[in-house]
């Protein structure tokens, strides 16, 4: 006897999952007064329609327990952000009971959605929804969670891009941080990883020593380096014999200082990052080196040894082996580090806040993340801070796309 196959709500579990998310977003938008009150009616219509459809299907298949779980999930999840996580659980339970009546393709789609939903839900709650909320805040006039604020359109962006010299100062400092730390960090890590990849005594000890800084709390590491740079009793001045030199309060640019003996005077951005900011860059390179070394070591160990043996038989020197074997086959790893390094460097914040809380002398260590923090949490102007965040997001997005278009062509993914 052939069992009649009853199709559940279409062939895509995303249907109910999407409905649950839509209901939650509308509920949030109404609560935040982003949408007018009549949208409550839309919510009711959608909820009633989904409930009716689910009821009909549940009655046809005698899956009332599944329907109950669905309603519990939607009901409990009606208050955001729980809705994003709980409502799909009810939907998933309903589909779980429906599994015997689903085709293999539908079951695969269902299990796929069910398994990825925790990550998707967290991504929605902690990344996408706050990002959209920040975009909305950037369009308001000085929102601070206390008083009333008005819709200001693009006014914050106009002020930020045309009338705020501090923003451009912070952006210039951040660009210097990216230019210095990303390529130098990858180069140093590559050299150290190549050395650690050789058969040397105490190899495990050396790898541990290089990785220790990365697992050290960034705030603690910054505090220690603040002591190292101290002008009175710092270790660096004692080592170099330069007592009294205040590394973190020296605003002169390193290019200007280096070229001054030649009679070349540089000013502004072209004077380069200040000595204070370079000191912070050195600390950042030290802290991140262990992580980069471990990643590059993993890439090195995936390169077949036969390539080096064949090169040695052909008389290739050590440098030629690194140039024509190691570097091309390591390019996926370095490309990965360059992409993450670019994004991370634009977000440099903790060490700058610990070592130069006010942004240094003449704001020479002010980064864009520290400027955003100052505007949001010191000046209580979340609208302006949100505008800064949106602009930084756009800059990172554009640079990442350009980086992928330019560098990915040179990446060798297969040996």
pLDDT tens string 127-182: 887 888 889 889 988 877 777 778 888 899 999 999 999 999 999 999 999 999 99
End-to-end CA distance of the chain: 56
What percent of the chain has pLDDT above 90?
A: 30
Q: Which of 127, 138, 155 is nearest to 390 (CA)?
A: 138
Distance CA 251, CA 235 (A): 21
pLDDT of residue 19 exceeding 50: yes
Q: What is the pLDDT of residue 184?
A: 94
Range picked from 1-15, 39-53, 202-216, 283-297 for highest mean pLDDT: 283-297
Euclidean distance between CA atoms 266 and 278, whole angstroms: 17
Residues in Cβ contact with 369 at an 8 Å cutoff, skipping those fewer than 6 apart = 174, 346, 347, 348, 349, 352, 392
Are the C-beta atoms of 211 and 294 separated by less than 8 Å?
A: yes
Does residue 52 surpass a pLDDT of 50? yes
Q: What mean pLDDT comes out for the span 115-122?
A: 69
The answer to whether residues 120 and 91 touch, using CB atoms and an 8 Å cutoff, is no
CATH 1.10.3720.10 in the chain, residues?
Answer: 160-410
Q: Where does the pLDDT of residue 114 fall: very low under 50, low under 70, confident under 90, or very high at 90 and above? A: low
Q: In CATH, which of 1.10.3720.10, 3.90.1150.10, 2.30.30.230, 3.40.50.1950 is domain 160-410? A: 1.10.3720.10
- pLDDT of 174 reads 94
Q: How far apart are CA 76 and CA 78, in angstroms?
A: 6
| Mean pLDDT, residues 204-220 | 86
C-beta separation of 355 from 222 below 8 A: yes
| pLDDT > 80? residue 83 | no
Measured distance CA(94)–CA(54) in Å, rounded: 9
Query: What's the mean pLDDT in 279-308?
Result: 91
SS3 151: strand
What is the pLDDT at residue 11?
Answer: 42
């Amino acid at each position: 006897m052939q069992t009649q196959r009853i199709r559940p709500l279409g062939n895509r579990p995303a249907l109910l999952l999407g409905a649950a998310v839509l209901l939650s977003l509308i509920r949030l938008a109404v609560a935040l007064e982003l949408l007018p009150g009549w949208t409550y009616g839309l919510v009711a219509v959608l909820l009633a329609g989904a409930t009716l459809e689910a009821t009909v299907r549940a009655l046809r298949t005698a899956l009332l327990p599944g329907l109950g779980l669905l309603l519990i999930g939607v009901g409990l999840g009606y208050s955001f952000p729980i809705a994003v996580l709980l409502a799909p659980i009810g939907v998933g339970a309903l589909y779980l009971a429906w599994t015997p009546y689903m085709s293999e393709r539908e079951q695969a789609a269902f299990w796929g959605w069910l398994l990825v939903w925790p990550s998707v839900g967290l991504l929605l709650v902690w990344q996408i929804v706050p990002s959209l909320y920040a975009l909305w805040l950037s369009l308001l006039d000085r929102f601070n969670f206390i008083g009333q604020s008005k819709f200001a359109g693009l006014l914050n962006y106009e002020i930020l891009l045309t009338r705020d010299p501090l923003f451009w100062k912070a952006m210039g400092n951040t660009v210097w941080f990216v230019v210095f730390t990303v390529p130098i960090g990858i180069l140093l890590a590559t050299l150290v990883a190549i050395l650690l990849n050789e058969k040397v005594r105490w190899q495990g000890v050396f790898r541990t020593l290089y990785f220790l800084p990365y697992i050290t709390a960034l705030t603690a590491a910054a505090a220690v380096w603040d002591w190292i740079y101290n002008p009175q009793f710092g270790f660096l001045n004692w080592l170099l014999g330069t007592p009294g030199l205040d590394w973190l309060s020296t605003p002169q640019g390193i290019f200007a200082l280096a070229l001054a003996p030649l009679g070349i005077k540089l000013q502004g951005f072209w004077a380069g990052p200040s000595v204070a900011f370079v000191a912070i860059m050195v600390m950042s390179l030290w802290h991140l080196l262990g992580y980069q070394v471990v990643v590059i070591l993993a890439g090195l160990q995936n390169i077949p040894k036969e390539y080096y043996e064949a090169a040695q038989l052909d008389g290739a020197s050590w440098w030629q082996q690194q140039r024509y074997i190691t570097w091309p086959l390591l390019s996926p790893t370095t490309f990965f580090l360059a992409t993450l390094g670019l994004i991370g460097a634009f977000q440099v914040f903790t060490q700058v806040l610990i070592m130069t809380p006010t942004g240094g002398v003449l704001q020479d260590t002010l980064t864009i993340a520290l400027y955003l923090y100052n505007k949001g949490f010191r000046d209580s102007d979340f609208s302006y801070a949100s505008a800064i965040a949106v602009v930084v997001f756009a800059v990172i997005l554009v640079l990442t796309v350009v980086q992928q278009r330019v560098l990915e062509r040179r990446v060798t993914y297969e040996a």
